[in-house]
Amino acid sequence: MYLLNGESKHSIEFSDRGFQYGDGLFETIEIKNGSPLFLKQHLQRLLNGCQRLLIPLPDAELLRKEAYQLSKDSDHAILKLIITRGSGGRGYRQPNKIHPTRLLSLHPFPNYSENYNQQGISVRFCNHLLGLNPFLAGIKHMNRLEQILARAEWNSSEIQEGLMMDINRHVIEGTMSNLFVVKENILYTPLIEKCGVEGILRGILIGIANQNKIKVIKNNLSKEDVLTADELFITNSIIGIWPIKQLERQQFKIGLLTTKLQRLFSEIKQQEIKNAY
Amino acid sequence: MYLLNGESKHSIEFSDRGFQYGDGLFETIEIKNGSPLFLKQHLQRLLNGCQRLLIPLPDAELLRKEAYQLSKDSDHAILKLIITRGSGGRGYRQPNKIHPTRLLSLHPFPNYSENYNQQGISVRFCNHLLGLNPFLAGIKHMNRLEQILARAEWNSSEIQEGLMMDINRHVIEGTMSNLFVVKENILYTPLIEKCGVEGILRGILIGIANQNKIKVIKNNLSKEDVLTADELFITNSIIGIWPIKQLERQQFKIGLLTTKLQRLFSEIKQQEIKNAY
């Protein structure tokens, strides 16, 4: 089910700059009991991204209305929101008057195993390195070749995620998730200043940690830092929190801080499900 | 005029990964007297790019046939060729069986002033810096937010191009062109190993220089190297060779080597127009 600028459609003009150049951004949102979860945070990130990409801000109230309209009959699904710079301009040059494209779409929720949440996942390091670009870092934009090439490195269903380093060999994130590292009861997560996506769940978890007096440090992390962690987990809006039980040949236990954060997040999510309705 | 997988269409499925993630590549080709120029070189780069992006190679003979089919009634126009990874897969993960999308389209030739070729253009340095990504460097892929943001930095029609540096402050290219620098009768052009696009015309010019015993050095170039050049020019398949007469506040003369290369390229192009038909 697709809603393109308010109309039910299945395709987009070739001339749309989202297609020509990946000139846009997106949000992937969990729908539960007919409501898009953490929509406020997703819309805020989308608007921030538009601002940074010089795309005129879409009407947030309209996006909100359409998001609910598309979600209302779904028990559990995914809502994807796309904003592009629309059509026009010559080559890379944007048109003088920008008419952004607004696309909302509904997708089935992936059938991830419940085990991933409880017993953890197996993860590898990707060979593909993230380029550094402070101008684009943090934004969930539509230029995603790096993630696609990294995700293409493995096919085994035994491996659920790949961790990506940047060209300075700092570990930044998973191909589709943010990374958290626990060491001596301190929570570390990579800086998203030169590359990487600022995940919504990453932001929520940092907030939870702050409120619960769990020390959080955003920092540069080496492969060594990650491999010598006490606990490791990844996050995104769809999977929630997945503990890492294995990274390359290294085993990890699912520790107390990870399960505590899972519990605290689960409470916030239940609250969100209640309020979002 | 558009040809999507051999059919006349105007739009593309939302699910196409070209739209979702910029997961594809393109070529922009000059059509002259009904023929796409330097098509062989463009197809070769396209195939090389597919290989590096792990997209199954399209049928080059079919692309060639469709390129001529679309070009045959145009006196002077632009042909754009797009190959994407098609639809399917989950998120960034590519589908097990990839069915690439093939799109050819015809566009009017831009009305660039003839003066640009003969009297040169005015150029600025962009603030937006290119990220470093050796995995993607050289490929004319569809992840073009960097170029779009750089091109959005100026609006004045007095400025025809912006030069981009990478995050190491090496000058790499223009937003839509490659850069050449002449110093003491040696031709320098930036390395395209960590970022940038390997232009078709760049390749042709390097070949011309080699054949005519003009020394070419591919090198890292600083802003200082560029500003202290004897001659400067930019190239791409559509504009040909545009000498730079002004860069920021610095004036440049259109020197002997630039005009010699323009003349040599013009001969090659005339030959190509004759043979391509």
- Indicate if the pLDDT at residue A103 is higher than 90: yes
Pairing label, strands A161-165, B121-125: unpaired
Q: A23: nearest CA in chain B?
A: B145
* B240 contact partners, CB below 8 Å, separation of at least 6: B117, B201, B262, B265, B269
Report d(CA A70, CA A115) in Å as an integer: 30
Q: Is the pLDDT of residue A277 over 70?
A: no
Q: Which residues from B are below 8 Å from A91, CB to CB?
A: 151, 176
Question: What backbone torsions phi and psi does residue A30 show, to the nearest 5 degrees?
Answer: -80, 130
pLDDT at B75: 97
At A203, is the pLDDT very low, low, confident or very high (cuts 50, 70, 90)? very high
H/E stretch holding B205 reads helix B200-211
Average pLDDT, chain B: 97
Please check whether residue A231 is in contact with residue A243, taking contact to mean a CB–CB distance below 8 angstroms.
yes
ipTM: 0.96
Distance CA B100, CA B85 (A): 5
How many Å lie between the alpha carbon of B150 and the closest alpha carbon of chain A?
Answer: 9
Banded pLDDT at B90 (limits 50, 70, 90): confident
By CB atoms closer than 10 A (0-12, 13-18, 19+), residue B271 is exposed
From chain B residues 95-124, the ones with a CB under 8 A of any chain A CB are: 103, 105, 110
| pLDDT tens digit sequence for A214-227 | 999 999 999 999 99
Mean pLDDT throughout B52-68? 97
- Quote the minimal CA–CA distance from A78 to chain B in Å: 12
Q: Which two tokens stand for residue B120?
A: 């040169």
Average pLDDT over residues A33-53: 98
Q: Which of B3, B10, B19 to mutate to test the interface with A (most CBs of A within 10 A)?
A: B19
| pTM for the predicted model, two decimal places | 0.96
Please give the pLDDT value at position B156: 95
Q: Could you say which residues from 33 to 92 on chain B have a Cβ atom under 8 Å away from some Cβ of chain A? A: 53-54, 85, 90-92
Q: What is the mean pLDDT of residues B236-251?
A: 97
pLDDT band at B276 (very low <50, low <70, confident <90, very high): confident
Buried b (16+ CB within 10 A) or exposed e, B83-110: bbbbbebebbbbeeebebbbbbbbeeee
Question: A12 vs B17: CB contact, 8 Å cut-off?
Answer: no
Mean pLDDT rounded to a whole number for chain A: 97
Among A148, A149, A161, the residue to mutate for chain B (most B Cβ within 10 A): A148
Extract the runs of DSSP E, i.e. beta strands, from A41-177: 76-84, 101-108, 121-125, 161-165, 171-174
Instruction: Give the minimum alpha-carbon distance from A211 to chain B in angstroms, rounded to a whole number.
Output: 33
Handedness of CA B213, B217, B223, B225 (dihedral sign): negative
Q: Do B145 and A105 touch (CB under 8 A)?
A: no
State whether residue B170 is helix, strand or coil. coil
Q: Are residues A29 and A38 in contact, defined by beta-carbon separation less than 8 angstroms?
A: yes
Q: Which residues of B touch A9 (CB under 8 A)?
A: 14
CB–CB of A147/A176 below 8 Å?
Answer: yes
Query: Does domain A115-276 sit in CATH 3.20.10.10?
Result: yes
Taking an 8 Å cut-off on Cβ atoms, the answer to whether A148 and B21 are in contact is yes
The token pair that represents A250 in the structure block: 């290294």
Among the listed residues B178, B152, B148, the one whose alpha carbon sits nearest the alpha carbon of residue B238:
B178
Which segments of chain A belong to CATH 3.30.470.10? 2-108
Q: pLDDT, tens digit, for every residue of B197-241?
A: 999 999 999 999 999 999 999 999 999 999 999 999 999 999 999
Residues of B in contact with A11 (CB under 8 A): 11-14
* Residues of chain A above pLDDT 90, percent: 97
What pLDDT digit, counting tens, does each position of A105-139 carry? Answer: 999 999 999 899 999 999 999 999 999 999 999 99
For residue B274, the surrounding DSSP H or E stretch is: helix B256-276
A198 is catalytic: no
**CATH 3.20.10.10 residue spans of chain A:** 115-276
Inter-chain Cβ pairs, chain A and chain B, closer than 8 A: 156
The third-level CATH classification (topology) of the domain covering B2-108 is: D-amino Acid Aminotransferase; Chain A, domain 1 (3.30.470)
Does residue A276 have a pLDDT over 80? no
According to the model, what pLDDT value does residue A260 have? 98
Q: So what's the pLDDT on residue B277?
A: 67
- In A117-176, the residues whose Cβ lies within 8 Å of chain B are 128-136, 141-152, 167, 175-176
What percentage of residues in chain B have a pLDDT greater than 90?
97
pLDDT, position A180: 98
- The mean pLDDT of A40-45, rounded to a whole number, is 98
A90 with B110: Cβ contact below 8 A: yes
- Judged against a pLDDT cut of 90, whether residue A90 lies above it is answered with no
Query: In this complex, do A105 and B17 lie within 8 Å of one another by their Cβ atoms?
Result: no
